[in-house]
Amino acid sequence: MKKILVTGCNGQLGRAIRKEYGDSAELILTDVCDMPGATNLDITKADEVIEFAGRTKPDVIINCAAATNVDGCEKDEDFAYRVNAIGPRNLAIASEKLGAKLIHISTDYVFPGTDPRPLTEFDTPGPLSAYGRTKYAGEEFVRCFAKRWFILRTAWLYGDGKNFVRTMLALSEKRDELSVVCDQCGSPTSASELARTIHYLEPTDNYGLFHATCEGSTNWADFAQEIFRLSGKDTRVEHVTSERYKEMNPASADRPAWSILENYMLKLTGDFMMEDWHSALEKYLKGI
């Protein structure tokens, strides 16, 4: 049976990967927190990563571990670089030593968001934030140190864990109206859809960079409205600009205004389509 090492197994994507694969592969689960059935592995420590990978000998490494708190990365960029750049470098070195495939997850935040059109894998990154810079550095390390790699850029991820959807639902229990940014556009993506995409690519030799988001796009305010509509809630959404949000939260990191990703490589190299974001959200809400 194929052996797959999953880092960050207790995060939203890690949980979705476990559900997606089930018993079809031997999953070697790791995270930095104590969790039954998982090994504590700090991907920022090269010797630890290489030793663990050499001992467990996975055929595939799926890196779901990341520092994803965008504002937190601004406050501690060194930590963000260790997790988002050095960690992937260590996994790339380990995968190359084993001849294993490496699947690394990146983000729409590698783009500046100044070009109002869907962005493909052939567009030039230019991150605005520490989070985006460190994630892009991780991509570069994977390219440098591994040969059999997939990099999947995704966006606005939600799944089993803390996320925008659950935050909106929780806040709607306390307030009749919420202020949500209306001038940042992207593609909400369910973790289960991203896991399905990983499972599709993983057995292939179709290596390279892929954008992997649910089809379609929206802005945060309209996303919130759709969450409330599908949940049967009457919560009102006040549309606010990024400038106004920054005034209310001056320590917040800059976000790309336009980060709609087009899954161009998935379409060029096969017939795989990710689900529309509306239907993926509806399925998700029915399951929580």
Q: Which residues are catalytic?
A: 131
Q: In 108-225, at which residue ranges do the beta strands (DSSP E only) sit? A: 149-154, 157-158, 177-181, 185-186, 189-190, 208-211, 218-219
| Cα angle for residues 108, 64, 40 (degrees, 5° grid) | 150
Task: Say if strands 60-63 and 101-107 run parallel, antiparallel, or are unpaired.
Answer: parallel
| Cα angle for residues 113, 89, 16 (degrees, 5° grid) | 70
Nearest to residue 12, comparing CAs of 136, 223, 193?
193
Nearest to residue 92, comparing CAs of 55, 128, 139, 57?
139
Q: Which tokens sit at 242?
A: 């990024």
